[in-house]
Amino acid sequence: MTKDKKVSLLKITSMVIIINLLSKLTGFARDFITASKFGTSISADAFSMASVVPNIIFAIMGAAIVNTFVPIFNDVIVTKGEKRAFKFSNNVITVLTLLSIVLTLIGEVFCPQFVRLIAPDFHGFKYLLTIKLTRIFLLIIIVNTWVFLSTAILQAKEHFLIPALIGIPYNLLVIGYLIFFSSKYGVVGLTEIIVFSMFVQFLIHIPSLSKMKYKYRPILNISDNDLRKMTILLVPILLGTSVQQITSLFNGRFASSLETGSVAALSYASRLNSLVMDIFVISIVTVMYPRMAKLSSVDKLTELIDTFNNSIKSIIIILFPIMTIVLIESVPIVKILFERDAFSNKSTIMTATALFYYIIGILAAGLRELLSRMFYALKDTRTPMINSAITVFTNVVLAYYLKDILKLGGIALASSIAAYISTLLLFIKLNSRLKNINYTKTIIVAFKVIFACCCMGVFLKVFYEFLGIMLLNKSIGIEIIGFGGLSILALMVYVVILYIMRVEEVKTFVAFSYKKIKRV
């Protein structure tokens, strides 16, 4: 990969990371205001239960559609041209829209029975309200299909910024409703504005689609060979993603056998862990995956492997220091974010313990995400599906035994260990398929990163102990400045060490940042 291409990818990836960070911050504000408006009321319970199905479908369908559409779309462009690729897109949109309409109608008809199944203890007003909200939420199935497909088309054409941006207006619309209209229209209005905001996300995509001369025209051809290829790839991803949902269910079940508050603490820690994944790993993978799929379509294996190795290095360089900081500062991080009102110091310790053991596996989880996309680019969705099943089985078995030894930390540690095992298995499988992968440069960078993180960790630990005493019983604002500033200083130490050790990616980043600062 040429230096210009690396700078271009760095620029795009950096912008996607920044946008994702802003999206997550506005999302956090949205959740905070929602909690303050509805608390733990009957309306809040009904809203949470009604959103279960859309959230599961969102997690499963989104990954499946994007990851299967992109490689097939690139194949069609290479073999049959862009016009035929857009025709394929129109066919996929029509078929999946009809399927989503059917699923929505089935959901609307059997909504009372479904609510009774997932919330057997809901009665009277709470039961009826949950049915009403669920029926509104079911419309998201159709809208999400359009959002996912338009996102997939844009990403396949390497347009990343608009798809990353759409979460921000969504959050702002919901926040606006909560501030100005929630007292009048309540949780029903909140559900309606969420559906509307999802539709706005789709509308935001339309100008970008028009610029690349794409126009939707209804086409229905279920016997299309390219559609059949996508379906074959789609099924294993759906099964694999569905299996992954089982992990959280088992973890919650194990946590429920521990002391009161364990389920909530595990959930908070898992959300923080996922936040790091979404901001950094998903941003990198989102940019790299279409490129890997395109290189695979034209059989440029050398460039594909080069891109894959560069992605590994980026994930290692970014996640190792984050992991180091969280391992040392897990308690103040949780305290700053959550400790207020009913969230006591005990809640902070429980959540920080789970976060400590979760973050150990963040590197493996990030590499596993990249490896899965590599297999998708090679049009192999079966291997990640089998790997997901192995991961869940390993996680459940380990959690069952470790919860008796480390309590809440044991459940989180089980997830981390399972992530490393599954990542190792994916590496072994990939190496058996692509014989000429050379990891020498990647391993050298990894050792340099580990050394830099050890130095950074010593610096951080020494000042953390000193700062912790100074900030004891101080206000949240002062703690944010103190621990936040210390973390930034530690990251600067890390970057300087890697720069001195001539890590190419860091040198490129420093040069890129210097140019941007100089222009300002």
- The percentage of residues in the chain with a pLDDT greater than 70, rounded to a whole number, is 92
- The per-residue pLDDT of the chain, averaged, comes to 85
More confident position, 347 or 491: 491
CA angle 87/89/90 to nearest 5° reads 65
Q: For position 35, what pLDDT does the model report?
A: 67
Would you call 74 exposed, middle or buried from its count of C-beta atoms within 10 A (0-12, 13-18, 19+)? Answer: buried
Q: Is the pLDDT of residue 520 over 60?
A: no
Report pLDDT for 124.
84
Q: What mean pLDDT do residues 62-78 have? A: 82
Min mean pLDDT across 42-46, 70-74, 319-323 is at 42-46
Look at residue 508 in the predicted model and tell me its pLDDT: 83
Helix (H) or strand (E) holding 520: none
Identify the helix (H) or strand (E) that includes residue 261: none
Task: Return the minimum-mean-pLDDT range out of 44-58, 181-195, 375-389, 471-485.
Answer: 44-58
Domain boundaries, the chain: 1-222, 245-437, 439-520
The angle formed by the CA atoms of residues 418, 311 and 56, to the nearest 5 degrees, is 50
Long-range contact set of residues 384-387: C-beta below 8 Å, sequence gap at least 24:
384/236, 384/237, 384/240, 384/426, 385/236, 385/237, 385/239, 385/240, 385/243, 386/240, 387/240, 387/422, 387/425, 387/426, 387/429
Over residues 44-51, the mean pLDDT reads 73
Helix (H) or strand (E) holding 2, with range, is: none
**Percent of all residues in the chain with a pLDDT value above 90, rounded to a whole number:** 30
When pLDDT is cut at 50, 70 and 90, the band that residue 175 belongs to is: very high
Q: Please list, in sequence order, all residues whose beta carbon lies within 8 angstroms of the beta carbon of residue 424, skipping any fewer than 6 positions away.
A: none
Per-residue pLDDT band at 457 (split at 50, 70, 90): very high
Range of 150-159, 183-192, 493-502 with top mean pLDDT: 493-502
pLDDT for res 4: 60
Cβ-contact 435, 301 below 8 angstroms: no
Is the pLDDT at 245 greater than 70? The verdict is no
Could you give the CA distance from residue 110 to residue 105 in angstroms, rounded to a whole number? 9
Task: Please give the single-letter amino acid code of residue 449.
Answer: V
DSSP annotation of 225 reads H
Report DSSP letters for 175-191, one per residue. HHHHHHTHHHHHHHHHH
Query: What pLDDT, on the 0 to 100 scale, is given for residue 453?
Result: 96
CA–CA dist 46, 236 (Å, integer): 33
pLDDT at 164: 85
Of 149, 110, 119, nearest to 46 (Cα)?
119
Give CA–CA dist 513/520, Å, rounded.
11
Its pTM surpasses 0.85 = no
Per the CB < 8 A criterion, the answer to whether 479 and 471 are in contact is: yes
Q: What is the pLDDT of residues 331-364, one digit of tens each?
A: 988 888 877 666 778 888 988 999 999 999 999 9
Strand, coil or helix: what is 331?
helix
User: Residue 206: helix, strand or coil by DSSP?
Assistant: helix
> Which alpha helices (DSSP H) does 119-181 contain, by range?
124-137, 140-156, 161-165, 167-180
Residue-by-residue DSSP string for 438-504: --HHHHHHHHHHHHHHHHHHHHHHHHHHHHHHHTTT--HHHHHHHHHHHHHHHHHHHHHHHHHTT-H
Residue position matching structure tokens 């609307």: 108
Q: What is the mean pLDDT of residues 255-259?
A: 79
Nearest to 448 by CA among 510, 507, 361: 507
Cβ-based neighbours of 100, under 8 Å, separated by 6 or more: 141, 142, 144, 145
Q: Per-residue pLDDT for 119 more than 70?
A: no
